[in-house]
């Protein structure tokens, strides 16, 4: 059974999709990215207002993800996370089998039902969805808790009861979906344990007290960190309609798991005019009486369904905490109630009747289960194909929910870099569907910024902030736009506001450091880079940027240490090698500089800047031929690279090839009209060619741009022309 489960879900290991809240759980969670006792302590201590994940208290799930990060899990290497999740799902499958065996005493029946659970497509999203580690971990402890409870029910003892309490708390610390477990135990006392009485009710009081405490924690933390909508905020008919819809919806999806998605939007309008709402009401009106009537023959059907309903009730929409009406993951643990019904039914088929007919029934049952498992496993692998990339996943969800504005916004994030037109179209559609959707304005602003349409970008950021004044990312993104525009003061103000709203915003500290560096406040820049790496010790860009600041201060030793740290953290970080080469070049260690530039080029053959920098090093050791080759390669890679033309011109000048030097200085000036040094050096070349008027013209332009041409050149020109300017 475990093998079949692993086979069905094996494609999850290669899934690369990131969705919905995975940013909070992984890509933007600094505590997950900083595995330590301190990070674990914060996850455990932040009870009523988690700071890194909006929502409820779930420290064990977060610590679990942190451990996967320590085992080399990264946003670009999700396999360690998926591996752990797949192991947990396989373990949960085994626990389901053990629980059903303990309840009905039929190992093969339990194994068949567990097989159907293990390969079912409704379990898919708990594995490749990083943020759903909490569902798997909570189910793991909850199933152990139920197993311990069944043992306790049959052989009471304080050790087993204490074990139940501990496992229940661990489940709640993984995800509060386990809150109804004491009621589930009472239902199991009614059937199949047949021990419901006053004593069994009283023994649940400690468990119920724990559930009340964690329930209160969940409501408070959800309200404080992510928002919570109360039933009184909506018409009185809303809750009954949602309950009816979901009662039928989940049963339908479990029996016929087609068109599965991670986004089932609320019907608009939410009334009987929607076919699914109408079907839910009619189906519920048929189901409930039928279950009550079934009590005349068996407790199994009603009790199993009640276990499912009670377990899934916290997610049924009475308290609003999500943008979807239902979700496959919500049914993961509650499905145990339906599995109990199925196990009871198969056990009756398996054991009933005459011995002769029993063999036929058993063979037929096995055949039906094997075929069903094969079909379910095929559906699971088919659904997992959508999880291989973020783009494919969102395309699939949008195909099933074409009017879901949130999906258009998230889909915009998934487009490849440079596909700005599609990003803007997706954001436009999201805004069209929901004009006050701050996130779509911010994402569209990012696209306009990357297109260097700064006025439009700022307008969108302003709109996003006006709609959501506590939107730290919008301040950060607007700061990036101001930084690109050269308005470093405004950029610093926005970075500062982002940090006030999100104190552990490492990227904001690092980028504010860049702005301070551009304003030549290198000490403050270094302080910001240091804060960034304190918050995120593997922040390679911050180490590299701090190295740049130290280099600008002339502290080449510290600069080299920072570049080296960045390289240790990211051995293929070509830019850090190039920057370290610059520092060695400044120290006149040209051999080491050339080695670093060469490594940068090997790592990134189209790295024009590294070719240019290596050309400078070759020029400094008078290896002009190699310098010219590197400058030429840099220009080939970046035809608008003014500095490479300027540097090649200097080398031609050193070689005495003044004509080619002048042509390169001229090209540099065409590309960068305010290139004062190029004017000044071209003036020298013109002087040596006795083109004195052209030399004077370049001197005048260099002065106009704020440069001071060499005094020797001015004296020589004055002597040659008999005049000074």
Per-residue pLDDT, averaged over 577-591, amounts to 94
Q: For residue 317, what pLDDT is reported? A: 80
Alpha-helical regions (H) of 486-607: 488-501, 506-518, 522-535, 540-552, 556-569, 574-586, 590-603
Query: In this structure, what is the dihedral angle of CA atoms 31, 262, 113, 381, given to the nearest 10 degrees?
Result: -100
Read off the pLDDT of residues 667-684 as tens digits, 9 standing for 90 and up: 999 999 999 899 999 989
Read off the pLDDT of residues 466-480 as tens digits, 9 standing for 90 and up: 999 999 999 999 999
Range with top average pLDDT, 331-345, 354-368, 417-431, 673-687: 331-345
- % of residues, the chain, pLDDT over 90: 78
For residue 434, pLDDT over 80 is answered with: yes
For residue 185, pLDDT over 90 is answered with: yes
DSSP bridge pairs for 74:
77
Nearest of 318, 270, 2, 333 to residue 144 by alpha carbon: 333
CA 336 – CA 422 distance, rounded (Å): 43
Alpha-helical regions (H) of 120-204: 133-154, 158-172, 181-190, 198-202
CATH code for the structural domain at 640-725: 1.25.40.10
Long-range CB pairs of 535-540 (<8 Å, 24+ gap) are 535/30, 535/34, 535/504, 535/506, 535/509, 536/30, 536/33, 536/34, 536/506, 537/34, 538/33, 538/34, 538/569, 539/506, 539/510, 540/566, 540/569, 540/570, 540/573, 540/576
Domains of the chain, by residue range, sit at: 2-383, 640-725
pLDDT band at 354 (very low <50, low <70, confident <90, very high): low
Cβ atoms of 322 and 314 closer than 8 Å? no
Read off the pLDDT of residues 144-172 as tens digits, 9 standing for 90 and up: 999 999 999 999 999 999 999 999 999 99
Q: For residue 716, what pLDDT is reported? A: 84
Cβ atoms of 168 and 181 closer than 8 Å? yes
Where is 661: in which H helix or E strand? helix 658-671
pTM of this prediction?
A: 0.82
């Amino acid at each position: 059974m475990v093998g079949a489960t692993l086979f069905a879900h094996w494609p999850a290991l290669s899934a690369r999709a990131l969705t919905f809240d995975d940013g909070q759980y992984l890509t933007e969670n600094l505590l997950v990215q900083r595995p330590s006792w301190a990070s674990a302590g914060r996850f455990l201590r932040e009870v009523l207002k988690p700071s890194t994940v909006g929502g409820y208290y779930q420290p064990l799930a977060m610590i679990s993800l942190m451990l996967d990060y320590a085992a080399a899990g990264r946003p670009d290497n999700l396999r360690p996370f998926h591996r752990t999740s797949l192991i947990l799902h396989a373990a949960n499958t085994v626990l389901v089998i053990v629980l059903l065996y303990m309840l009905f005493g039929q190992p093969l029946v339990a194994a068949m039902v567990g097989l159907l659970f293990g390969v079912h497509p409704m379990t898919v999203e708990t594995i490749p969805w990083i943020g759903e580690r909490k569902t798997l971990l909570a189910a793991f402890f909850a199933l152990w808790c139920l197993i311990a409870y069944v043992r306790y029910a049959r052989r009471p003892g304080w050790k087993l009861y204490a074990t139940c309490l501990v496992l229940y708390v661990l489940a709640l610390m993984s995800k509060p979906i386990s809150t109804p477990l004491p009621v589930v135990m009472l239902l199991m006392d009614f059937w199949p344990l047949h021990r419901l009485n006053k004593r069994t009710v009283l023994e649940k009081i400690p468990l119920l007290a724990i559930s009340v405490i964690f329930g209160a924690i969940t409501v408070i933390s959800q309200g404080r960190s992510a928002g919570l909508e109360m039933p009184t905020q909506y018409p009185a008919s809303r809750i009954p309609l949602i309950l009816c819809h979901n009662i039928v919806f989940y049963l339908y999806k479990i029996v016929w798991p087609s068109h599965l998605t991670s986004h089932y939007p609320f019907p608009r309008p939410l009334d009987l005019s929607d076919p699914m709402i109408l079907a839910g009401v009619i189906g519920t009106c048929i189901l409930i009486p039928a279950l009550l009537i079934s009590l005349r023959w068996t407790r199994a059907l009603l009790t199993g369904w009640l276990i499912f309903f009670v377990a899934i009730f916290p997610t049924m929409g009475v308290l609003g905490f999500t943008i979807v009406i239902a979700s496959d993951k919500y049914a993961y643990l509650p499905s145990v109630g339906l599995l109990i019904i199925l196990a009871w039914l198969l056990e009756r088929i398996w054991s009933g009747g005459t011995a002769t007919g029993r063999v036929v029934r058993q063979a037929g049952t096995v055949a039906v289960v094997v075929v069903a498992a094969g079909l379910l496993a095929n559906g699971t692998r088919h659904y997992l194909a959508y999880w291989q990339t973020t783009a494919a996943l969102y395309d699939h969800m949008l195909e099933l929910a074409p009017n879901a504005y949130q999906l258009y916004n998230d889909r915009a994030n998934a487009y490849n870099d440079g596909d700005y037109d599609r990003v803007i179209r997706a954001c436009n559609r999201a805004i069209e569907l929901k004009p006050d959707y701050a996130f779509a304005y911010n994402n569209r602003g990012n696209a306009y910024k990357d297109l260097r349409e700064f006025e439009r970008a700022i307008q969108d950021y302003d709109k996003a902030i006006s709609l959501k004044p506590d939107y730290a990312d919008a301040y950060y993104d607007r700061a990036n736009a101001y930084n690109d525009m050269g308005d470093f003061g405004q950029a610093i103000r926005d970075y500062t506001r982002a940090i006030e709203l999100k104190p552990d915003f490492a990227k904001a500290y690092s980028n504010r450091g860049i702005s301070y560096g551009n304003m030549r406040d290198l000490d403050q820049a270094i302080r910001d880079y240091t804060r960034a790496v304190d918050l995120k010790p593997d922040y390679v860009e911050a180490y590299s940027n701090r190295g740049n600041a130290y280099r600008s201060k002339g502290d080449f030793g510290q600069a080299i240490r920072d570049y080296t740290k960045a390289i240790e953290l990211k051995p293929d970080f070509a830019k850090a090698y190039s920057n370290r080469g610059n520092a060695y070049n400044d120290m006149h260690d040209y051999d080491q500089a050339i080695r670093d530039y060469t490594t940068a080029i090997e790592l990134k053959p189209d790295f024009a800047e590294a070719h240019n920098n290596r050309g400078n090093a070759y020029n400094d050791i008078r290896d002009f031929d190699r310098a010219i080759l590197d400058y030429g390669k840099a220009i080939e890679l970046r035809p608008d690279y003014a500095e490479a033309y300027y540097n090649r011109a200097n080398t031609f000048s050193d070689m005495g090839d003044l004509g080619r030097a002048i042509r390169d200085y001229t090209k540099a000036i065409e590309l960068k009209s305010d290139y004062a040094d190029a004017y000044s050096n071209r003036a020298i070349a013109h002087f040596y060619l006795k083109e004195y008027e052209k030399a004077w013209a370049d001197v005048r332009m260099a002065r106009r741009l704020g440069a001071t041409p060499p005094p020797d050149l001015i004296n020589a020109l004055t002597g040659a022309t008999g005049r000074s300017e």
